[in-house]
A and B are shown apart, each in its own frame.
Chain A
Amino acid sequence: MESSWLRALVVLALVVVAGAIFTRKLLLVYRLIRLGAGPVPLAPPGERLRDLVAQVLGHRKVLRRPLAGVLHLFIFWGFLVLLTTIIQAMGEAFSPGWTLPVIGQPPLLAALQDLFIALVLIGVGMALWMRLVSRPRRLEGQDRRGAYLILGFIGGIMITLLLSRAGQIVLESPAWAPGAALSGFVAGAIAGAPRAVVRGVFEVAWWGHLLIILIFLTWIPEGKHLHLITLVPNILLKKARPRGALAPIDIEQAEHLGISSIEHSTWKDMLDAFACMECGRCVEVCPANATGKELDPRRLHTDLRTHLTRVGSARLAGGEAADAPALVGGVFSEAFLWQCLTCGACVEECPAANDHIDKIVGMRRHLVMEEARVPDTMGDALRSLEARGHPFRGAGLSRTAWTAGVEVKTLADGGRAEWLLWVGCASALNERNHGSLRALVRVLQRAGVEAAILGDEEACTGDPARRMGNEYLFQQLAQQNIETLNRYGVRKILTACPHCYNTFKNEYPQFGGQYEVWHHTQLLARLVEERRLAPSEAVPLTVTFHDPCYLGRHNGEYDAPRRVLAAIPGVRTVEMAQCRERGFCCGAGGGLYWVEDRVGQRINHVRTDHATATGAQVVATACPFCMLMLEDGVAAREAKIRPMDVAELLGRSLAGGSAERSGG
């Protein structure tokens, strides 16, 4: 191949200019991120590396959407492989005949390169198909022009590459040519043209290729393609916290409570914002968004990014962006913030490993603790929590009302047992859940498991307060409960409420409360498998299981309840389309049990429809909140399906009848 000092000089100049623009933009991003607060404790390195391999190289989450996943996999791996062609081209520009060190330029590499040129082009085609024909909902609201431009860049890079390779084959017959089938095919098509024309095609393609790459490079640090750079650090800098846990704040010391301005966010929040690729997977799985509400989890990151860039740039320049809207109430409306169920569907789905819940709860913390602005009925729940230790204003029941007809001791009465059965307000103070509790106690007694309760000494774990943003009240309740538990020397906690489960397991350790915590379905599964329970009576029902978010996504327990159901003779299980990781919240999470769901469709009605669509007779669940929401949904839809707790179903199948009529 021909070369000259002029070519080298032009290439060098272009690379330097593009590189400078790129670096300058990237540096701004870096400085913006550094505006965030720290430190952020990080997960163990092994875990972070594992995630990197699975999510980046393996595309684990991306591949959950087959079309988009495969096309992205093609493009991603295509770029990794074709990086070799770029390096090769650059090298040749400066030193003719240069080849990659060690590897050289064997036909096998050329074959691989050609394969990926084809795959990337197929990927671009699939992407166009998706945007023009199949049009999934999640892509609405994405920056369309940006997306087409990017696809144009990628397609352009591939076509120019292909043409320059074809030209090179025709002009120089390089040693690698036999491997490059696709390039060879194109070369065959142009080989008949005059040499000068081929030369022209080659030059245009070669320079075009270089220019598009460099323009693309300068574009990367703006918009969604920044994830090419930010995604790897975002995954490598994963927070050291279980999914279900929120970070505590030191109320006495903190200068601000929650997030009302960019500098209150952590640098990780900001990195998240820059790592968002706007794929909209979060939008697609968000139950609030799916039912027509304002909440849009993608906007949480994209709008944060825009706001951060605007306000942060001004601040870096030593000023203030005077006309920028307020973060809370401006960039994000209060309605937007109060519609989040903290169900974690977006977090589970996000290929960039972003955390939405922290940011929303952070802004709620500001609203509740600094502004005392909270939806009225949530405020009532908070007041009730404060005054009487439970959020169920108007509940005329005592915490032990459910024990009528079963034998349960309280620790105060000298009850000593292996397990503390933590009842939880949602179970104790709502009659519908009393049957589930009694079924559970009877089943445990059949298995010879001893469990005692705290009775009136129980107070709410604080989960609703924490998710509503009242960290102060949460910490008070946590301290009070830890004191009570430690006074009785409690070590093993069993609970039928996934919210209590999550709080004990993932959040109380933040305050020194270390317990062995089991959800009732986990213990029931164990008892069945150890044959301490022998479900023998047939329960001839078709059952679909509704995954409680705080058992499933937040704690990864999808199997225990299903193992219990599978052990019940006669039960035939069917799954809803939205199950396990894709489970659809009942509508009660995030403290939203206490506000009326009046925008768009009701989440619990939609969830009831999912269950009804399976044709099941029973929708089983394992959470007292889900139970109340499903009962409500079934009543509203006048559906035939019946919500039951897993323990109630198991109780029915134990010979000798541990069952009672309940619910309905």
Chain B
Amino acid sequence: MDIIVCLKQVVDPELPARDFAIDPATRRQVREGRPLVLSTYDENALEVALQMKDHQGAKVTALTIAPQATVGDTVRLALAMGADEAVVIDDPRSPELSGPARARMLAAVIRKIGRYDLVLTGCESADLVERLIAPLLAEELGAACVTFVARIDAADGPLVVRRQADEGYHVVEARLPAVLSVTSDEANRPRLPKVKDIVTAKRKPVQIWTPGDLGSMADDGGVEVRDVAIPQRTGKCEFLTGDPAQQAEALALRLRELKLL
């Protein structure tokens, strides 16, 4: 089985609030000087792919779009965890790509790679949380699509996966090729790489392509980012007053205002 895992490099979501900033020019998060990490759920997706490799044999290709200058650690981590090879689309503009443009570019690469049975990715990116890569990739590739997959129940016959759903789980059977987005689960906690593998990862093949290799990528998609604002925290805790019933009432209303109900 050939598995391609799409990985995104994001600014550490645990960044201290002080270091979180939006670049007014690009309306994207400032990346310079911030630690870059693999987007959380992408690591779970990679783990799922590696477990399939361990259990039934598979070739796992890690695929990422990122400026090559900053990509090193991400791809090396994927290779060290056990991916067989990596493809990097060296695009200096990639942090600014919209979700749909990113999906188109990934699809173009995957078509160029050619051989795949499964394409895996995280259920959402830790930065934009758009949850659209897997469905769009499925459309682009004409593949089956299941999102929020918690685990793969069977892959030897028809592919059977367990999708996290509002009411519990859906057991979904999917045809191949399929694009799956993966959510975290007890069973797919990302492994730590072995040091030996970190060292040998340095010798694993990394193909570096430029967006130019993929043909034209019309962008925009008819959506313009007008503004990205950081809500200011007043800093102090706001105490709700009154007797217990009044406090409860006030809290319920505040939760409603905050759209948390």
Using a CB–CB cutoff of 8 Å, the interface residues on chain A facing chain B are: 251-252, 257, 368-372, 374, 376, 379, 382-384, 387-389, 393-398, 401, 456, 470, 472
Contacts and interface: CB of A to CB of B under 8 A. Distances in A.
Nearest to B38: A387
B37 interface: yes
Contact of B194 (A369, A379, A396): A369
Given A376-B189, A396-B17, A389 B35 contact: yes
Given A251-B199, A393-B14, 12 more contacts: A252-B199, A368-B192, A369-B194, A369-B195, A370-B195, A372-B192, A372-B194, A387-B12, A397-B16, A398-B16, A398-B19, A401-B16
Given A382-B192, A393-B14, A398-B18, A472 B37 contact: no
- Secondary structure class of chain B's binding surface, majority of residues: loop
Nearest to A257: B195
Contacts of B194: 369-372
Contacts of A368: 192, 195
B142 interface: no
A388 B194 CA distance: 19
Contacts of B33: 456
A257 B196 contact: yes
Contacts of B193: 372
A344 to B, nearest CB: 26
Contacts of B152: none
B35 A388 contact: yes
19 contacts: A251-B195, A257-B196, A368-B195, A369-B194, A369-B195, A370-B195, A372-B194, A374-B192, A376-B189, A383-B192, A387-B12, A388-B35, A394-B14, A396-B17, A397-B16, A398-B16, A398-B19, A401-B16, A472-B195
Nearest to B36: A387
Contacts, number: 49
B254 interface: no
B191 interface: yes
Contact of A396 (B14, B195, B196, B198): B14
Interface in B1-35: 12, 14, 16-19, 33, 35
A387 B15 CA distance: 11
A456 B191 CA distance: 29
Nearest to A392: B14
A383 to B, nearest CB: 7
Interface in B197-241: 198-199
A60 B196 CA distance: 44
Contacts of A396: 14, 16-17
A387 B35 contact: yes
Contacts of B19: 398
Contacts of A372: 191-194
Contacts of A389: 35
A393 B40 CA distance: 13
A388 B37 CA distance: 9
A470 B198 CA distance: 12
B36 to A, nearest CB: 8
A368 B18 CA distance: 34
Name the residue in A376, A393, A398, A470 with the highest tally of chain B Cβ atoms < 10 Å from its Cβ. Answer: A398
